[in-house]
Structure 1
Amino acid sequence: MKVVIDTDPGQDDAVAILLALASPELEVLGVTCVAGNVPLDLTTLNARKICELAGRADMRVFAGADRPLARDLVTAENVHGKSGLDGADLPAPKMPLQPGHAADFIVETVRREAEGAVTLCPLGPLTNIALALRQAPEIAGRLAGIVLMGGGYFEQGNVTPSAEFNIYVDPEAADIVLKCGAPVTILPLDCTHGALTTRARVTAFRALGTPVGDAVAGLTDFFERHDRVKYGIEGAPLHDPCVIAYLLRPGLFSGRHVNVEIELASPLTRGATVVDWWGVTDRKANATFIRDVDAAGFYALLTERLARLPARG
């Protein structure tokens, strides 16, 4: 499966990238970066750090949008720390950023590859994906799909009472993506909050005895502290790795094909994902909305794959 990972690392983004690079079922064609959890200069830096940690200095990393389509940028250093990757002391990367804009790379890649070959995997705000679709609307029909982390229905929001961070940051971009006509799968808070870290799961990362295992344990140790205080739960949800795990093991997940719309106008509910879970409207289904995850299976897969890294020097 050929994938492009669009990301704003972020500890959980980092784990998602590592999972993808550790999985032979996936061919990662490139990593595109967007401003989100931290500003763009840090997301591009962090993506390259993680690629090098995985032994993949050959991976192409592109810079994309440094702000949302129509709003001021909102970041999440309160969750991820000032660097975005607080919790792991990773060296400055040697690999360069690629020339060109992330949206251009996405368009060129989808056009170059066979129809139905490429899956886009957005792990942050959807700005780069929306820019690519604006530039070349026809690529929607060439995609195998868009599998994204964002939104919430039963869990609702984590940055406001009604909105999840990725959608809240750029709701206009999310609206474009959901209306583009490509097959869309959403891994929302409803799913990812079922994939909590625990002491045993973090200990299993550290017990790998590798630089990757140590880094992931450190990242998750830091990431946990916010949600433990906020929600009073044992650990933290590893949101973004759920996207990659869904591609690898869809049987670990369940959901419904439903209509999902994005609230754009209301200041009170900006970025809310309005999910017609019960089919009470006549709006056409436009996304597969995942509600449940087998957490034990998810963490078993994640730990097994992380143990394979680095796969290359």
Structure 2
Amino acid sequence: MSLPIILDCDPGHDDAIAMIMALAHPQLKVLAVTTSAGNQTQAKTLNNALRILTLLGRTDIEVAAGASKPLNRELIIADNVHGESGLDGPKLPDPSFAAVNMPAWELMATKLRASAVPVTLVPTGPLTNIALLLTLYPELKPNIAQIVLMGGAAGVGNWTPAAEFNIYVDPHAADIVFTSGIPIVMCGLDVTHQAQILDADVQRIRAIDNKVAQCVADLLEFFVVYHKDPKWGFDGAPLHDPCTIAWLLEPQLFQGIDCHVAIETSSPLTLGMTVVDRFQITGRKANAKVLLAVDRLGFVDLLARSLLAYG
């Protein structure tokens, strides 16, 4: 039986690749795609989700736009990473279908109610839409099997010294999610920085003869430019968001620990920090599985196999 999931994303190069991976595998059933503001504005991330689904021929999947800004602060975008469109690099088709006329959290609630089994939520952007879903429809928490998210870090941040981008954009939403009591798998920078795509991997993907693989190669060639800055110490480009899908498909590729994660929501110095109690110092009950390591070669193989499915 396929695992029902809802993708909540802010495409974004790595969000787009996560969506492509998810839709390549019949063991995952994508019930809906919702968009958050983050890597770019809401209008642009929505357009990008529609463009990717049009490329994949998956106009049967319902798409809904979410909040245009975080819960309690102004929007911060990452156009320096993802470009003016949010998906600079490849030539993508214009959307051939439109989003549904309801907000993201309402579409998610509709899908949760209709599913015969609990649904896995997979947010790969700021957690605003998920927080609104949990706040507006608390009775639907039992309908959520787990939340497998990209965000946070047990170590240092990538947007501030203390905070990872997705959590920093809307720390108040992240606090709602991490205190919800719903099982969480956190794919933070500790693991995603290991899921690097090297130049040889891009060439391997370029050699796959279908339009989806060519699009992914184009995405990666643009994405790697930002990560060539020596300050990061990378050999390639880290594919953050696809780690969520890889964990759902092949969890044996990953290592992690169950521990308590708290979100800093007020400090001007550490706003958005995910405070990961790796050594159970506080004695607080674990609320997340925090992934800390990945088999990089296995991850790349999974991505390549996903792209071959579009041949």
- TM-score, normalised with respect to structure 1: 0.97
Residue in structure 2 matched with residue 266 of structure 1 by the alignment: 267
Residue in structure 1 matched with residue 34 of structure 2 by the alignment: 32
Task: Give the letter aligned to residue 260 of structure 1.
Answer: V
Aligned length: 308
Instruction: Please tell me whether residue 110 in structure 1 is matched to residue 112 in structure 2.
Output: yes
> What does 1:1-313 correspond to in 2, within 5 Å?
1-115=3-117, 117-154=118-155, 156-229=156-229, 230-309=231-310
Assess if the C-alpha contact under 8 Å between 2:54 and 2:94 holds in 1.
no
Greater shift, 223-232 or 268-277, is seen at: 223-232
Cα shift readout 1:68-98 (whole Å, capped 9, x = no counterpart): 0000000000000011101111121111111
Task: Give the letter aligned to residue 167 of structure 2.
Answer: I
2-structure distance, mates of 1:81, 1:88:
12
Stretches of structure 2 lacking an aligned partner (at least 5 in a row): none
Greater than 4 Å deviation, 4+ residue runs: none
1-structure distance, mates of 2:67, 2:310:
30
Shift of 1:309: 1.6
Assess if the C-alpha contact under 8 Å between 2:54 and 2:93 holds in 1.
no
2-structure distance, mates of 1:263, 1:239:
22
1-structure distance, mates of 2:112, 2:172:
22
Shift of 1:43: 0.4
Assess if the C-alpha contact under 8 Å between 1:103 and 1:131 holds in 2.
yes
Percent identity of paired positions between Structure 1 and Structure 2: 49
- TM-score, normalised with respect to structure 2: 0.97
Q: CA RMSD in A?
A: 1.0
Cα shift readout 1:234-275 (whole Å, capped 9, x = no counterpart): 211000000001000011111011000000010110000000
Stretches of structure 1 lacking an aligned partner (at least 5 in a row): none
Shift of 1:210: 1.3
Shift of 1:200: 1.1
1-structure distance, mates of 2:142, 2:60:
29
Task: Give the letter aligned to residue 85 of structure 2.
Answer: S
Cα shift readout 1:79-129 (whole Å, capped 9, x = no counterpart): 0001110111112111111110100111121122134x2000000000000
Assess if the C-alpha contact under 8 Å between 1:141 and 1:181 holds in 2.
no
Shift of 1:284: 1.4
2-structure distance, mates of 1:95, 1:51:
9
1-structure distance, mates of 2:88, 2:284:
42
- Say which SS state the counterpart of residue 214 (structure 1) adopts: helix
1-structure distance, mates of 2:163, 2:302:
29
Task: Give the letter aligned to residue 15 of structure 1.
Answer: I
- Say which SS state the counterpart of residue 6 (structure 2) adopts: strand
1-structure distance, mates of 2:185, 2:245:
12
